[in-house]
Amino acid sequence: MNEIIHARNLVKRYGDFTAVDGINFDVHSGECFGLLGPNGAGKTTTTRMIACVSPVTAGELTVAGLDVRREPRRIKALLGVVPQEDNLDPDLTVRQNLAVYARYFDMPRALAEERIDESLALFQLTDKQHQTIWALSTGLKRRLAIARGLINQPKILVLDEPTTGLDPQARHLVWQKLRYLRGQGVTMLLCTHYMEEAAHLCDRLVIMHQGRILVEGTPDALVEEHTGREVVELHLRGPERETVLAQLATLPGLTVEEVEDILYIYARTADGRANIAELAPESERVVYRHANLEDVFLRLTGRGLVE
């Protein structure tokens, strides 16, 4: 498949601090590729290097075959960047924001006007086009930021935490638009710490932690491989907990993780799934559920708070 972003041994250091520590990945044309990880994992730094706004310390990084060190302007012309921070022009209207941005790409006015109309319609912003930005809700601003990122019909749309701070309705609307774009064949690079978002949108993803890539794969394969499909969460204290732990030790195919008074029991094999059913703990607080990326992530990086 066609590699549109290619990173080898990519390193970014700020003084003594290594933000990105020798990562390798490829993004293929037409896919939605996720960079997952907690704050400080190096996701944003990686996207900033791809967007040519942060110099690479070491390693290789090409976008559409162009070297980020040599051809930043050509690369930036191919990208649509939707940043985490709100950096719309607050004193301009919705429409003017798009027009001013189109001008940065040297887009002829008539073409820009046409694309602006299309974008406004797609993101349901046509009614708001003459409103000033500071009057908009966070959800509307985020939709506009994505519309702005698409104004140059980019080869790659780079999204950094596109739904952070949005309420559930606004978030689902953004997801719906992003799924639509994915369906249209827009290549997307999505940075997020929402596992649910990654599961919803990404074809493939990597999980990053402390500047390194821990694992790479499709969301389903990662869940299957690292946690199994099912999880039991048990809230237990005291002697009951000891009983269950003793019982678990004798049952094959199960992995247990203890966090404070919660036991997370993962069934990674068919045996394990059968054995989970055998467990009949005397607790009112038992949750049987499907495992998700969050379990994978927490298993790989530990459930303790990393600061």
Q: Contact region for another protein (CB under 8 A) — 32-40, 96-104, 194-202, 223-231?
A: 96-104
Work out whether 90 is an interface residue with another protein (CB under 8 A).
Answer: yes
Which distant-in-sequence residues (6+ apart) come within 8 Å of 113 by Cβ? 99
- The answer to whether 173 contacts another protein (rule: CB under 8 A) is no
Choice between 77 and 298, CB closer to another protein: 77
> Among residues 51, 61, 214, 234, which is the contact residue for another protein, using CB under 8 A?
51
Q: Which helix (H) or strand (E) holds 215?
A: strand 212-217
C-alpha pair distances (Å), 208 with each of 38, 57, 282, 295: 8, 18, 38, 14
Select 130 or 250, whichever has its Cβ closest to another protein.
130
CA 99 to each of CA 95, 156, 177, 184, 253: distance values in angstroms, whole numbers, following the listed order: 6, 20, 21, 23, 59
Query: Residue 177's CB: how many other CB atoms inside 10 A?
Result: 19
What's the closest the beta carbon of residue 212 comes to another protein, in angstroms?
21
CB of 20 to another protein, least distance (A): 13
Q: How far is the CB of 192 from another protein (least distance, A)?
A: 19
d(CA 238, CA 217): 39
Which residues 6+ apart lie within 8 Å of 211 measured at CB?
A: 12, 18, 19, 20, 21, 23, 41, 42
- The sign of the CA dihedral 19, 24, 29, 34 is negative
By CB under 8 A, is residue 106 in contact with another protein?
yes
Which single residue is written with the structure tokens 């946690």? Answer: 227
| Residue 87 in the binding site for another protein (CB under 8 A) | yes
> Per CB under 8 A, does 227 bind another protein?
no
Residue 105 as a binder of another protein (CB under 8 A): the answer is yes
108 binds another protein (CB under 8 A): no
76 binds another protein (CB under 8 A): yes
> Quick one: 106 or 284, whose CB is closer to another protein?
106
- Grouping H, G, I as helix, E, B as strand and the rest as coil, residue 114 is helix
| DSSP count for the chain of H helices, then E strands | 11, 14
Long-range interactions of 53-58: CB distance < 8 A, separation 24+: 54/12, 56/10, 56/11, 56/12, 57/11, 57/12, 57/13, 58/9, 58/10, 58/11
Give the burial class of 1: count Cβ atoms within 10 A of its Cβ; 0-12 exposed, 13-18 middle, 19 or more buried. Answer: exposed
Q: What's the min distance (Å) between Cβ of 91 and another protein?
A: 5
Candidates 80-88, 120-128, 188-196, 289-297; binding stretch for another protein (CB under 8 A) = 80-88
Which of residues 16, 17, 70, 73 is near another protein by CB under 8 A?
73
From CA 63, how far away is CA 4, in angstroms rounded?
A: 6
- Asked if 13 touches another protein (CB under 8 A), the answer is no
Answer yes or no whether residue 131 interacts with another protein by CB under 8 A: no
Of 58, 65, 69, 91, the residue at the interface with another protein (CB under 8 A) is: 91
Task: Assess 211 for contact with another protein (CB under 8 A).
Answer: no
Minimum gap (Å) between residue 287 Cβ and another protein? 42
68/293 Cα distance (integer angstroms): 31
Asked if 54 touches another protein (CB under 8 A), the answer is: yes
Minimum Å gap between C-beta 286 and another protein is: 47
Instruction: Provide the binding-site residues for another protein, judged by CB under 8 A.
Output: 14, 51, 53-55, 72-74, 76-77, 79, 81, 83, 85-92, 96, 100-101, 103-106, 152
